[in-house]
Structure 1
């Protein structure tokens, strides 16, 4: 009967744990309920520490995208102007500069949107990897302490 109450406690703890790990933890070496609870807490802290020490999320995506967009817009404006050499050579240099700057501004906005989108995608991928690593660390820790962990 004592073994059944210990298993019930482990199941209750594993299902209600705040990290969302919904595994069933079964003591394989006759660990007491208190020891099981201590081990679960310790493994949770180890796993949380590993996910906290992961690389910081990528930053600067919008700025990088805007810079790339501005450069592309200015270069594109220059290329389009050169396609019409006979008219382009007759245009005042200030007008040419204004045209390149306007195109650079327009494409910088688009580049910022694309850069922000890529940055969000990278963060989501990193969050998934971090969660998987944390869950694996938690499970491995408990298995190392003599528990069977069932999903």
Structure 2
């Protein structure tokens, strides 16, 4: 099976690369995703061992903060059944779950965040989904050549 590469966005005030590193076993469930396309990526395509560019979004300096890895494949997201959760969905049932999540584990924090503004300037990344106008998806596929370029040349 071919390894895939992803970019996953998180607001660092809510959950940062440092938060992931500090979790028990440096692992955390990526719950609360409520976008169907992002859900489908997690549910249908993400596999154990896939690598993730961990992106800090909605902050003063958005950009790629490090690398994580999928440590557990898709399974139902229990926050959709928890009435006290902000992610509760009354249309999702245990018999027919609507929302899914994966578990991710910390791999590496970069010395500094690779800023979105820098990523947009690089011709090697011109067709990366992240740098396209209007790209807002919280989980997106990354081409191997983009992943390799970022990790080997920018990190």
User: Which TM-score bucket, shorter chain as reference?
Assistant: under 0.3
Q: Could you tell me the TM-score, scaled by structure 1's length?
A: 0.19
Structure with more of its chain in strand, by fraction? 2
Larger radius of gyration: 1
Structure with more of its chain in helix, by fraction? 1
